[in-house]
Structure 1
Amino acid sequence: MTRADLDKRAELTVWPSQGPAHVAQGHQFLTLREALAAAAEAMDAEDAQPWIITEDGDILSPRWIRAKVAAGRLQ
C-alpha cells in the first residue's frame, strides 16, 4: 500500500465483536485515511471489528487496521 492509496475511496463495515452479524454498519468514505480513522474510533469506543474495502478492491482486516493505526501509519 502506498501513500497515494490513502487518498482513494474506501468502504468501512463495522461488525459488532459480539452479537448478531445483521447489525453491521457500512459507511462510504472519500479517503482510506478517513476510513482508517473511523475504524480506529469504532475499535476503541465500541469494541467492534471493522473491515475496509479499498477502491482497488483490497480487503483490510481488523488485525491489519489495528497494526497500522497503532504504528501511526495514517499519514
Structure 2
Amino acid sequence: MTLADLDKPAELTVWPGHAPAHVADARSFPTLRAALAAAAEAIDVEDAKPWIITAAGDILAPNWIRANTGTSRLQ
C-alpha cells in the first residue's frame, strides 16, 4: 500500500465487538483515509471489529487498523 492509496475509495464493514454478531454495518467511503478514521472511531467507541477493503483489493484486518491509525499516520 502506498500513500496515494489513502486518497482512493474504500469499503468499511464494522462488526460489533460484543457478543456474536449476526449483522454488520457496511459503508463506502470516498477515501481510505476517511474509512480508516471511521474504523478507528468504531474501535474506540464501540469496541467494534472493522474490516476495510481498499480500491486495490487489499483487506485490512482489525489488528492492522488498530496498529496503523494513530492521528499522525492519517495526516
Give the TM-score of the pair, scaled to structure 2.
0.91
Question: Structure 2 CA distance, aligned partners of 1:42 and 1:61?
Answer: 13
Of the structure 1 ranges 16-25 and 30-39, higher mean CA displacement relative to structure 2 is found in: 16-25
Q: RMSD across aligned C-alpha pairs, in angstroms? A: 1.3
Q: 1:42 corresponds to which residue?
A: 42
Instruction: Report deviation, 1:19.
Output: 2.8
Corresponding residue SS for 2:64 = helix
- Note the residue ranges of structure 1 that are not aligned, 5 or more in a row: none
Question: Structure 1 CA distance, aligned partners of 2:41 and 2:58?
Answer: 21
Question: Structure 2 CA distance, aligned partners of 1:43 and 1:6?
Answer: 19
- Note the residue ranges of structure 2 that are not aligned, 5 or more in a row: none
Question: Structure 2 CA distance, aligned partners of 1:22 and 1:3?
Answer: 34
Taking only the aligned residue pairs, the percentage that are identical comes to: 69
Q: 1:12 corresponds to which residue?
A: 12
Corresponding residue SS for 1:26 = strand
Give the TM-score of the pair, scaled to structure 1.
0.91
Give structure 1 regions of 4+ aligned residues with deviation exceeding 3 angstroms: none
Residue correspondences, number: 75
Instruction: Report deviation, 1:60.
Output: 0.0
